[in-house]
Amino acid sequence: MSNPLTIFQVAGKAMSAQLVRMNTTASNLANAGGIASSEAQAYRTMKPVFRTEYDKATGLATVNVESVVTAGETPTKHYDPSHPMADKDGNVWESAVDETRELVDMMETARGYQNNVEVMQTAKSLILDTLKMGR
């Protein structure tokens, strides 16, 4: 049987999940407007899939990243025969990254991460205050 989760483990797992989300958002933004010579090679938006994990011993719940999947729109085909990556028909495929949505995701992720930092700081402060009571 595993040890019960602590508040620090719960917040730490949540922060790790938010870091995965931030990394996928950064990758999506870095590839916005990317061009490929075929639809199969074109960049597709990535999103993490979260799974809630319950701890029966404490009743606490935390989150894990189950996987990272491609999501969103399919790449857009453009006719540009002068482009060096154009296929034999003169087409190129542009990644369909919604930059506005990605920026909103980035802000939401940063807020979620910061909230968990605050949880850890508050828990640490409460523990220290409790220890001081014994003096």
CB 21 within 8 Å of CB 70 = no
pLDDT tens digits for range 72-116: 889 999 999 999 999 999 999 999 999 999 999 999 999 999 999
pTM for the structure as a whole = 0.85
Determine the pLDDT at residue 16: 96
Give the whole-angstrom CA distance, residue 35 versus residue 42: 7
Query: What would the pLDDT profile of 31-79 be if each residue is shown by its tens digit?
Result: 999 999 999 999 999 999 999 999 888 888 999 999 999 998 899 999 9
**Every domain of the chain and the residues it spans:** 7-33+45-70+98-133
Q: Please provide residue 25's backbone torsions phi and psi, each rounded to the nearest 5 degrees.
A: -65, -45
The position carrying tokens 């969103």 is 72
pLDDT at site 95: 95
- What is the predicted pLDDT for the residue at 2? 63
Buried b / exposed e along 116-134 (16+ C-beta atoms within 10 A): beebbeeeeeeeeeeeeee
d(CA 77, CA 96): 10
Judge contact between 68 and 47, C-beta under 8 A.
yes
- What mean pLDDT do residues 9-19 have? 95
Token pair listed for 129: 């205050």
